[in-house]
Amino acid sequence: MKRWFADGAFRTIMRNASYLASGKLGGAVLGLVALGCAGRGMSPALFGTLVLIHSYANGVGAVVKFQTWQFIVRYGAPAFERGDIAGLRDVTGFAFGLDLASGLLGMAGGLLLLPWAAEWFGIGAENLHLAMLYCTLIPTMTAATPTGILRVLDRFDQIALQQLVTPLLRAMGAAISYIAGLGFIGFVLTWFIADLAGDLCLWVMSIRELRRRNIRGALRPGLFAPAKRLSRAWGFVWTTNIAHSIWAAWGPVSNLLVGALLSPAAAGLFKIAATFFDSASKPAELMSRSFYPEIMRLDPSSRHPWQLAVRSALISGGMALVMLLVVSIGGEPVIQLVFGKRYVAAFDLLQLMTASLVVAMAAFPLESLLYMAGRERAALVAEGTAALAYAGLLVVLIHVFGLWGAGLAYVIGVCLKTVFMLAPTLWAYRRRQDLSHDGLLGAVA
């Protein structure tokens, strides 16, 4: 371990992950406060409806969202490193243009589809107007340009600070709604305002950082003109968009299917279990966000990035074992304390889902390694195949086992994704000598 931390790149990964962890830890606690107030302030059916409204907007956003932060890191980091500010402007302008186009398209599509889909998903006609209001957040939900800018400029501390904004406002608003008895409308408006404020805060931080670095015109949106000056830009963004759209929709679509096939109350229980699972697996997500920018600066034909992946996976896997113990001991009391006895049934589901926690956390470097090796399409095939299998299993197992089947499908889906990602990653490692450092960094043409 002492030798691991002598590696400057590994220290940077852990430092940036710790920045993000500080924000996520506080955000997780505040998020539980918000969910607890909502669970106690509404009936299980109304709580589930709130989850479904939020999940619908998130699900539509996940489908149309381009992973522009990955594009900015892949193309913008090398340009910034060599002082090519004009190239960085092309990268950020192209990413901003994609965010604008996809966000507006997603909002229009979500609003048009909602009147026909609401009843099937379990959102009653009496709550349709609130669901449509929530869909206006899709353009800000889908924008990843400011996150990419802050990562390229190594301002993970700013990202960590921003991660507290939405959960803090949500917790404050939920507490007010609970104490004042504002009911369902009060909680929906709280979620809406908190999401909007958090997204806008990220934009303010990125704009301020660009001005501090005297980088002008970086947020002038464009699509076709900057793409002509960037190597393989369209291929990269479409591949990562489809891959992440499929997998990012995992949570929201799961909630919607559970609500449609069982009930809004069941969707609420599934949401609680999934929230605890996501909180437990957050260390891996945070390490991934700091791991990807760092290995994109390294030579993929050397052993260095692959060694970093193994070390990071071992650290993350060890954390997963600790989190398993914490969830097993403290999961039920926390759920009962925060949400009340009506929601204790979510703990049984959580216990089943945590069976895949070690696999999910230890496998986090695989996707980043495939992007580094220029195997974006392999990542797309792996994520798409696993997601399709998961969706099919979710429907079948819910019919057979009810809510318990949703948890079982979740575990199998996580394991399938890992297996499908591991195979092309091992193939890329064995042929790493054939990888071109300059070509795979996605340098600006």
The pLDDT score that the predictor gives to residue 1 is 66
Written as six digits, the tokens of 151 are 């990562």
| Element containing residue 151 per DSSP (H, E) | helix 145-152
pLDDT value, residue 294: 78
Please compute the mean of the pLDDT values over residues 119-131 and round it to a whole number: 80
Per-residue pLDDT tens for 59-104?
888 778 888 888 888 888 778 877 888 888 899 999 999 999 999 9
Given a cut of 60, is residue 152 above it in pLDDT? Answer: yes
Has residue 355 been placed in a domain?
Answer: yes
When pLDDT is averaged across residues 267-282 and rounded to a whole number, the result is: 77
Which pair of structure tokens corresponds to residue 438?
């300059």
- List, for residues 155-213, the tens digit of each pLDDT value: 888 888 888 899 999 999 999 999 998 888 999 999 999 999 999 999 999 999 999 99
How confident is the model over 208-265, as pLDDT tens digits?
999 999 898 888 888 888 878 887 788 888 887 777 767 666 667 777 788 878 877 7
Instruction: Please indicate, yes or no, if residue 220 is contained in any of the structural domains.
Output: yes
Instruction: Classify residue 370: in a domain, yes or no.
Output: yes
Q: How many domains are contained in the chain?
A: 1
Q: What is the pLDDT of residues 17-48, one digit of tens each?
A: 776 666 667 777 788 788 888 888 888 888 88
d(CA 248, CA 267): 18
**For residues 428-443, average pLDDT:** 62
Containing 16, the helix (H) or strand (E) segment is: helix 8-41
Q: Report whether pLDDT(401) > 90.
A: no
Q: What is the pLDDT of residue 439?
A: 45
For residue 303, how many other CB atoms are within 10 A of its CB?
A: 11
> Which pLDDT belongs to residue 442?
42
Tokens of 232: 């393989």
Instruction: Say if CB 105 and CB 63 are below 8 A apart.
Output: no
**What pLDDT score does 336 carry?**
73
**Residue 445 located in a structural domain:** no
Domain around 88 = 2-440
Q: Is residue 238 part of a domain?
A: yes
Q: Give the mean pLDDT of the chain.
A: 82
Higher pLDDT, 439 or 13: 13
| Residue 445 in this model has a pLDDT that exceeds 60 | no
339 within domain boundaries: yes
pLDDT (0 to 100) of residue 54: 86
**pLDDT at residue 247, as a whole number:** 65
Does 269 or 23 have the greater pLDDT score? 269
**The dihedral of CA 78, 162, 410, 355: what is its sign?**
positive
Answer yes or no: are the C-beta atoms of 314 and 370 closer than 8 Å: no
Which percentage of the chain shows pLDDT scores above 70? 91
Structural domain includes residue 188? yes
* 432 occurs within a structural domain: yes
Burial grade of 347 (CB within 10 A; 0-12, 13-18, 19 or more): buried
